[in-house]
Structure 1
Amino acid sequence: MFSFNRKKKKALILTIHGFGKQRHQEFDLLCRYLKESGWDSIQFDIYSLKNPEDANLEQWIKRCEEQMRSALKLKKPVILIGFSMGGVIASYLASVFPVQSLILVAPAFRYFDIQKLGSYSLHALRKITAKEKNVPSSLQTRTFMDLVDQYKDSIYHVTCPILILHGTKDEVIPYESSQSIYYDLNTQKKCLLLIEGGKHRMLYDGLGHEKPCFKIIESMLNDELL
């Protein structure tokens, strides 16, 4: 009698970028790192910087849904990784599509709390990327704010395993926002890890937190964390 050990099919990683100039490039280093271990990933842009009027919220969400459907057609399990604004969108996608797990990096669930605290006004948020050309327009900035406001509660409808990474020195989204939503998540498999000294763009800012974050994410992908 023969027995066959079927190798577990690796999931496909769909990345959802944040708001700013880099867009899908925010995940370049992470996807390159994971590729070395055999993980395939999809990166795409939610909006165009060449068209300042590309600021329709429904269109942004539709583009993400189309990428999600295309990923599912490949007949592989799908894991979502969302950064900042992308964390809010990824949470929405995970609440309406079948995904294996959800990984959030500095998710922007409490952007408006930052305004109330006076730490970052809308003007200050835009200045973060204003040193370079081809930054999001004022219309796109408004769409970002509306998107967070409309979809931030989607995270409470997600039932798959969730990993959240947030830097303790995040200068855009306070790590306390991730702490506050963590306790009300609707899943038993969840993990919140605070990265000591990590800033908002810790996946690619060159300050030394990339590799530790990558290793944690890889552990989650390999079902070694929860």
Structure 2
Amino acid sequence: MKTGVLMIHGFTGGPFEVQPFAEYIEEKTDWLVKIPTLPGHGGSLNLKNKSAESWMMAAELALKELKKQVDRVIIVGFSMGGLIAMYLALRYKIEKLVLLSAAVKYISAGQILDEIRVAATDAVKGRLAQNPLFHLYEYKLLNTPVSSAIEFLRVVKTVEPYYDKLTLPVCIVQGAKDGIVPVTAAEHIYNHLGSLEKEIYHSENGKHLICYSDDCDEWFGHVLGFMKGDGE
């Protein structure tokens, strides 16, 4: 039985956000892994006039293509990609769902303040150019139209009423130091899912880009075990 994994990146992001986990899966299995780039996303952002529907439709088309090539599909969704993954699982037969830093709640004010403080400290010490987080957010802020942020919220609202309709096995991974999605988001999803088989893995050092966390090798192995299930 051939397994396919569809991985969906986050808002203003690209495949790089989940690439480390994709490479881990490919190294440990013979599964087919696909990471579509959502419209307007990727290496350079062009989000103007891109809608929530266009993002969900691109992921849906990628899923349909993958389904032609495999017998079973697991979806891994990061941040906004987690919401799109849930949307697809409501509409199609999906074997399992993995939600990484799923953006069901928006920004964790406390943690983002901590990250801004680190950036400010670096600036005082003349090290701002070495702070990758600062430059990532700076680029995103300059290249993300307000209209796109509204479209992102439309994705959130599209899925929100239907958590209890999801009954497939779900594994949620959430970083304790996430500066974008509050830690309570993972519990919020967990408590409202209709799934009987569901779990949360807490990454103590994980920030929002969870696939780049210091402890990613630990949770990569744990989540792959969940994805395999049944000793596959």
Q: Which TM-score tier does this pair reach, normalised by the shorter chain?
A: 0.7 to 0.9
Encode CA deviations 1:93-132: one digit per residue, 9 max, x unaligned: 0111001000001111122xx48x78779xx9xx883433
The residue that corresponds to 1:195 in the other structure is 203
CA distance in 2, matches of 1:50, 1:220: 34
CA distance in 2, matches of 1:197, 1:153: 31
CA gap of 1:168–1:36, structure 2 versus 1, over 3 A, is: same
**Two-structure CA RMSD over aligned residues (Å):** 2.6
Return the offset for 1:52.
3.4
The residue that corresponds to 2:138 in the other structure is 131
Instruction: For structure 2, list consecutive stretches of 5 or more residues without a partner in the other structure.
Output: 117-133
CA distance in 1, matches of 2:211, 2:161: 25
2:96 alignment partner AA:
S
Return the offset for 1:83.
0.6
CA gap of 1:156–1:129, structure 2 versus 1, over 3 A, is: farther
Contact 1:203 1:213 in 2 (8 A): no
TM-score, normalised relative to structure 1: 0.81
Moved more, 180-189 or 164-173: 180-189
Q: Which aligned pairs between 1:5-84 and structure 2 lie closer than 5 A?
A: 9-20=1-12, 22-37=13-28, 38-48=30-40, 49-84=44-79
1:102 alignment partner AA:
L
Q: Which aligned pairs between 1:197-216 and structure 2 lie closer than 5 A?
A: 197-204=205-212, 207-216=213-222
CA distance in 1, matches of 2:47, 2:86: 26
The residue that corresponds to 1:219 in the other structure is 225
Contact 1:30 1:203 in 2 (8 A): yes
2:196 alignment partner AA:
Q
1:33 alignment partner AA:
Y
The residue that corresponds to 1:171 in the other structure is 179
Matched, 1:158 2:166: yes
Instruction: For structure 1, list consecutive stretches of 5 or more residues without a partner in the other structure.
Output: 1-8
2:165 alignment partner AA:
H
Give 4+ residue runs of structure 1 displaced > 4 Å after superposition.
Answer: 117-121
CA distance in 2, matches of 1:145, 1:29: 27
The total of aligned residue pairs comes to: 207
CA gap of 1:50–1:183, structure 2 versus 1, over 3 A, is: closer
Contact 2:79 2:101 in 1 (8 A): yes
Encode CA deviations 1:167-218: one digit per residue, 9 max, x unaligned: 11111111112112312321111111211122111202xx412211211221
